[in-house]
Structure 1
Amino acid sequence: MNRYTASLAIVTMFIFTSFSLRAEPPSFGLGVSASDSPYKGYGSQYDPLPHIDYDNGKFFIDDTSVGAYLYNHHQQELSIGFNYLSSEFKPSNSDDRRLKKLNKRHSTLASELLYEITTLIGVFSTGLSVDLLNQSHSVLIDTNYTFPIFYKNWTFIQTGGINWANTQHNNYYYGVSHREANRSGLAYHHAKSTLSPYLSFTANYHLTGHINTFAGVRIDKLTGDVKNSPMIANSTIPNLYVGINYQF
């Protein structure tokens, strides 16, 4: 199963819980995501999206991330923690006969340093993630801007951002080695670092004081050597998601 966009959707889906709501009661939820895989022969993916959010102002759990605050004052936050990078490629999941002959690409655990500032015009965030398990040797930098709109029982969240991925990350998930090329018939491909933009929109409706429903869409645009990889079928990756969560 390819979780490239599903993991990103989780971040977008529950971003409203982190907007000026630190040290709030914990929340739990469940949703479902429908997304297109960038890989040839994968087709559409349907994945469950469990959610857990706990934050006491010093320590936090946010879905696939866990960490602690180094600084959390005056609308600014600096945190350090661990994050599950769920990107993966399984040859057996592809219907493309050539991709079936490639090596697996595994998910990994990353350390994460995140800075966030809340202003009158929205939230600005920058994060650095580094592969801890030496699976992909990934170094990722994500910078984004989020602007929420509150109207009665509705919350609308717009996010725009850009992600930088190093050569090792891109070559691991999207490159084709000489040995793989000889075995599969695909062209050799060495994928260098890229900058990839994304946009998302999430609507959240407060049914009660504790129950929220949500729906949204996120679109990622693959660029450069990732877009040009012979493994890739789609460079524009849409992700739709819906669900419900409960806040204690």
Structure 2
Amino acid sequence: MFHFKNALLLLGLTLSVGSFAESLPTTDGNLRIGANASFNQYAYHQDDKVTVMPQAFYDNNRVYIKGAEAGVYGYKDASNEWRMTVGYDSREFRPDDSTVANLKGLDERKWSVMVGSSYMKITPYGGFRIHAKTDALGRSDGTTVKLAHLSRFKLMDNQLTIYPELGVQWNNKDYNQYYYGISQQESARTGVTAYQADSSINPYANVSASYAFNPKWSGFVSQSLEYLSDEQKNSPMVDNRLDSKTIIGFNYHF
């Protein structure tokens, strides 16, 4: 069967091969390697989670690595960016960590890898981006689409850079059913009411800040908030409206 993710992959490969000649020239790029600690407060009925992960940042106008996402440029100039992307979706539900007894009998909802394509128009008023992604591991077979506005502010003689992002995210029903739905089998086994989730649209905000201590070392902090829609909030798995993620880390510049 021809899946939506195959269409995105084909589109990305076509853009990558066909448009490189018109892109900005390749640069040496600046490789940064570091680590981060993430404090995840999911809206689920479950304990908060702390994770520590390595990370890398690199961009030479052809390929890029940006934390939990990597990819290739199909096209890039001073005001347009088209990317083929592969990224990590950290959303997960671990029944053993649930704070509600009946929910401990549910199936686990696992993190996944998302493949997709994004386009950003860069203007004097910031960047406007659309990013479509679909599950590459077949866990949810779900698809998400983000529409966002991004900005960048440099302060303190360019030592401090702040990146605000505001947007909305659409999740299709397959994505929501996997992460928020309750199947009839789970309901019969646990006594939790069965729940069929539909597609949803929910707003989100993210603010990141990077500070250069010296030419070799920098630190950063990021705070993201996602406001759940009724389709997500009404799930028996969910405790409140907000997903929150706080990340603190450092990078070494080569």
Q: Same fold (TM over 0.5)?
A: yes
1:160 maps to which of 157, 160, 166: 166
Q: 1:156 to 1:64 in 2, by over 3 A?
A: closer
2:152 alignment counterpart: 148
Deviation at 1:34, TM superposition (A): 1.7
1:131 maps to which of 126, 129, 135: 135
Q: 1:222 to 1:138 in 2, by over 3 A?
A: same
Deviation at 1:63, TM superposition (A): 2.6
Q: Distance in 1 between matches of 2:31 and 2:210?
A: 17
Q: Say whether the 8 Å CA contact 2:42–2:242 is kept in structure 1.
A: no
Question: AA paired with 2:226?
Answer: D
Question: AA paired with 2:92?
Answer: E
Unaligned runs of 5+ in 2: 1-25
1:240 alignment counterpart: 246
Question: AA paired with 1:120?
Answer: P
1:187 alignment counterpart: 193
Q: Distance in 1 between matches of 2:112 and 2:208?
A: 27
2:77 maps to which of 65, 68, 73: 73
What whole-Å deviation, never above 9, does each CA across 1:175-219 have from its counterpart, x for those lacking one? 001121122121111010111111122222211123211223211
1:37 alignment counterpart: 42
Q: 1:239 to 1:108 in 2, by over 3 A?
A: closer
The secondary structure found in structure 1 opposite 2:39 is strand
Q: Distance in 1 between matches of 2:219 and 2:114?
A: 30
2:178 alignment counterpart: 172
Q: 1:162 to 1:49 in 2, by over 3 A?
A: farther
The secondary structure found in structure 2 opposite 1:243 is strand
Q: After the TM superposition, which segments of 4 or more aligned residues of structure 1 sit over 6 Å from their partners?
A: none
Q: 1:81 to 1:242 in 2, by over 3 A?
A: closer
What whole-Å deviation, never above 9, does each CA across 1:106-129 have from its counterpart, x for those lacking one? 222222101112221212211110
Aligned length: 226
- The reply to whether residue 121 of structure 1 matches residue 116 of structure 2 is no
Q: Distance in 2 between matches of 1:215 and 1:94?
A: 28
Q: 1:108 to 1:35 in 2, by over 3 A?
A: closer
Cα RMSD after superposing both structures: 1.7
TM-score, normalised via structure 1 length: 0.85
TM-score, normalised via structure 2 length: 0.83
2:202 maps to which of 174, 193, 196: 196
- The reply to whether residue 108 of structure 1 matches residue 112 of structure 2 is yes
Unaligned runs of 5+ in 1: 1-21
The secondary structure found in structure 1 opposite 2:152 is strand
Question: AA paired with 1:110?
Answer: M
The secondary structure found in structure 2 opposite 1:229 is coil
1:206 alignment counterpart: 212
Q: Distance in 2 between matches of 1:226 and 1:81?
A: 26
